[in-house]
Amino acid sequence: MLTYLLYGLFILSCIVLVVVVLLQPGKSGAGELFSSNISSAAFGPRGTAGVLAKVTIGAASAFMLIALMLSLPAVTGQHSVLQSTEPDAVPAPTQQASPTPTEAPSPAASPAASGSPAASPQK
């Protein structure tokens, strides 16, 4: 549940960060300061720039903190991505018993030697 909340806040901070960065006005170049309308370029209204800068800093901070929290295994309850398997999941090598040599059947145990009617030819 906490993970879903963090992912939701992470996506929201991403969207806010992208929108706020795109809404910020471009900086004027040094060449515009020496033109005829110096008063409008250097001393123009800056009311929204302060608010957008503060929102950008807040969204960037939230983005970094949530990304850090999502990477911690204690928060997400998962193991590290560097661990391929859990240590308990690896089976211990088992030692197989060596096979016993099988004895060849003795000629006395064959049905022909036992004197059964099916094995012995009748005359």
Q: Is residue 3 part of a domain?
A: no
Tell me if 26 is assigned to some domain. no
Spatial contact of 18 and 59, defined as CB atoms under 8 Å apart = no
Q: How many domains does the chain have?
A: 1
What are the pLDDT digits (tens) for 84-105? 555 555 566 677 766 666 766 6
Q: What is the mean pLDDT of residues 107-120?
A: 58
Domain of residue 72, residue span: 49-79
Q: Over the stretch 7-19, which tens digit does the pLDDT of each residue have? A: 999 999 999 999 9
CA distance 30 to 117: 118
Q: Tokens in use for 76? A: 């997400």
Is 69 domain-assigned?
A: yes
